[in-house]
Structure 1
């Protein structure tokens, strides 16, 4: 796996759990679950029910504020998509065994280490230098992403297709491509958050700007910095740290890309990785790796979200009403 792909995976994870330079959450980043408020419901006296006072309940679970709920939402949607694939392939006259969603989420790190856990931070830091290069090139003394082939048994679909005549194999693949596209389109049509983000992009950007400009937000960041400094580590913010690591890694890229590491390169990468892990561990211990872990930030964001919903109530009701139609 090229290091750019690994960086993209990590960037998406960070974006999902962070807002702006320092990790503010975007609760609108995920689709709505089955409990999303419907504006067609009314109270017994005929009045409309009040909207939720937070974006997670309005448009679905946030990976930052409730990563477990967000992950479960995706798993549930993928199960539904796989079931749709089974039905579609059956109509085309072929067998299809649904894929376990867990099998679709390969990670470049040790699968036994939970993402965002203390062990993950102690092993990979921020994932910048530690998941940039393949472990097959770095060797056992440096940390890299797993690029070794998986020895797992082939999936039943692979076995089934290999047992078909060549012309039917091509027909199966064509049917699978068509069914996959149809199932994907159906799942996207139910993605309320995508439409929400597009409709309220400017308003959401203004809200998060207001969060970052809030003196309480700046104080939260300063508290994290002060806490980290007490461990003997200098820290400004997440983006500054990653940029500094990137500047030190850039000269190493062409050397490591050749597949050979001289002692100087190996020593420099080891130092970078050691420093990254030390900073990440200190920041995590100070509730600052992702501000979603910080209770003061959670309270601040909740306040701004409630104000956002109150200020845009009419537009939100209209948006949800159209989505229900």
Structure 2
């Protein structure tokens, strides 16, 4: 049985990540110089302060381990207060950092091997080996009656959502206050995610709107037009923007995986068409190389970085008070 990867066309969130990371300098440009520093995304400095992006991978891993240990201590005390035994789960989570990963969409050798990194990538070629999970509470739970087990898990995770609380895809809106001891412990240690706070909801909606309208940013239509003309001349027309080219690969890959049959409970009953995936991988590399050539021809990286810097700076000027309050709230937590 295969594990289907998360396959979605690049969204506003992905566009945000690409823009924030793509605005920094790289080998061969002004990275590390004053000019390169000017190309760093101004908005990323605020978001990094909120989400810990300024920490090194080692610091992030240490912080994660410390938070998980504290969460488990609180969960154990909470469960004991409700009359259950609970052994802290020291292996309850694994922190995965992309700090060591090779993601180089502007490097010709990398693009010649992975294209956009959709069908294959450094992550899919060498998956992280999974350690077998052993639940330290399994024997205790097995000793309980069926009704006691139900009560145990309800105390730990909260009640199972009713059908009217579920969305069509089976998801539901998370509320830490109804998520049992786990929810309470996570909230106490990590605090509230600012993006889920009513106070900052308008700000995050504005950020999302900012990155869903990149094509209308001043100067982007002209830049995308030059890039699209180059792609058309190279035999890869039909993409209005550079993001459209990438999305076309993800959309086709989605179709391949969606063609796999599933059982009534949604478990795949077959394998994706490997020949179709191999053929898509070849087309992906060809398209991505043409894309790279055209980006280099129109100086896409530097020009889009400058456009991003100006748009983000204007956004900061317009939302300075809200952004400062966001960072202050994150520091309090």
Shorter-chain TM-score: what band? Answer: 0.5 to 0.7
Cα deviation for residue 235 of structure 1 reads 6.7
Residue in structure 2 matching 1:311, options 309, 314, 318: 318
TM-score, normalising length: structure 2: 0.54
Distance 1:18 1:215, change over 3 A: same
Q: Is the 8 A contact 1:211 1:217 kept in 2?
A: yes
TM-score normalised per structure 1: 0.55
Going from structure 1 to structure 2, the CA distance change for 1:281 and 1:98 (only over 3 Å counts) comes to: farther
User: Could you say if the C-alpha distance between residues 59 and 192 of structure 1 is closer, same or farther in structure 2, counting changes exceeding 3 Å?
Assistant: farther
> Which secondary structure state, in structure 1, belongs to the residue aligned with residue 44 of structure 2?
helix
1:25-174 equivalences under 5 Å are 25=20, 54-60=42-48, 75=61, 78-91=64-77, 92=80, 94-99=86-91, 103=94, 105=96, 114-115=102-103, 121-126=111-116, 128=118, 152-155=130-133, 157-158=134-135, 160-162=136-138, 164=140, 166-167=142-143, 170=149
1:312–1:86: structure 2 CA closer, same or farther, 3 Å change rule?
closer
- Structure 1: segments with no counterpart, 5+ residues: 28-52, 132-143
Number of equivalent positions: 266
Q: Retained in 1: the 8 A contact 2:220–2:307? A: yes
Is the contact made by 1:212 and 1:218 (CA closer than 8 Å) also made in structure 2? Answer: yes
| Residues 120, 319 of structure 1: alpha-carbon distance in 2 compared, 3 angstrom cutoff | same
Q: How does 1:205-244 map to 2 (within 5 A)?
A: 207-208=210-211, 212-222=215-225, 224-225=227-228, 233-234=236-237, 236=239, 237-239=242-244, 242-243=247-248
Cross-structure match for 1:183: 185
Displacement, 1:274?
Answer: 0.8
* Contact 1:85–1:183 (CA under 8 A) maintained in structure 2: yes
Off by >6 Å, runs of 4+ in structure 1? 70-74, 255-258, 318-323
What is the alpha-carbon distance in structure 1 between the residues aligned to residue 61 and residue 259 of structure 2? 39
| Partner-residue secondary structure (3-state), 2:304 | helix
Structure 2 gap ranges (5+): 23-40, 158-179, 262-267
Q: 1:166 to 1:320 in 2, by over 3 A?
A: closer
RMSD between superposed Cα atoms in Å: 5.3
Contact kept, 8 Å, 1:125 with 1:279, in 2: the verdict is: yes
- CA-CA distance at 1:204 after TM superposition: 3.6
Out of 258, 279, 284, the position equivalent to 2:287 is 279
